[in-house]
Copies of this chain bind each other. A is one copy, B any other.
Amino acid sequence: MANKINDLQLIQLLEACLFASDRPLTIDELSDVVLADFLLTKKRLQQALKQLTLDYQGRGIELVLTAKGYRFQSKPEWSQYIALLWPERSPKYSRAVLETLALIAYRQPITRGEIEEVRGVTVSSQMIRTLLDRGWIKVVGHKEVPGRPGLYATTPEFLTYFGVKSLAELPTLPELVPVGEFFNTVGMTEGSIQ
């Protein structure tokens, strides 16, 4: 069979196929499968695809030619909003991550080695990465010992997340507050600090 198809119909058909398909379509698939019944040159097909590409300029999606063929895809600027449709819940932080965070918060600035020393176990890079990615800790300097390990401290984002203005507002563990001892060491009266 050799049916005729006009340019407008050709563009509509290509558009419908490319949107209905769940994978990219090659020029050959379009011409030999979808358009098998039509009398059509490859050149006309290519021109129609070019026109279709132009039709979508300034829209929310675009027709692109990938290694596997033509496909419509969303414009990059809308990706972050599209992502809201399918939120992914990441797993809860492990005990180890929480302990590391607590040590950084209460003992900052502190190196990874020092955290390991207190916790008695290795602190994986992955754990530190998790907290850095979350924006809760940062490197504030390097300790001048061999290897110059980074000194970690909490960030303003950390304080904001926990709803406090400064570290001093973080609660303390009652059994861990030997206030008197502290002031004796530095030789000051309690009254001097509020």
Contact = CB atoms under 8 A, between A and B. Distances in A.
A17 to B, nearest CB: 5
A82 interface: yes
Interface of A: 11-17, 19-21, 25, 29, 33-37, 58-61, 72, 74-75, 78, 81-82, 84-85
Contact of A84 (B12, B15, B34, B61): B34
Q: Copy number in this complex?
A: 2
- Secondary structure of the A side of the interface? helix
7 contacts: A12-B60, A12-B75, A19-B74, A21-B82, A21-B85, A34-B82, A34-B85
A78 B16 contact: yes
Contacts of A84: 33-34, 36
A19 B75 contact: no
A14 B81 CA distance: 10
A183 to B, nearest CB: 45
Contact of A61 (B16, B58, B59, B60): B16
Point out which of A16, A36, A84 has the most chain B C-beta atoms below 10 A from its C-beta. A16
A61 B12 CA distance: 8
Contacts of A59: 12, 15
A22 to B, nearest CB: 9
A29 B84 CA distance: 10
Contact of A81 (B34, B72, B74): B34
Nearest to A38: B81
Contact of A20 (B21, B34, B74): B74
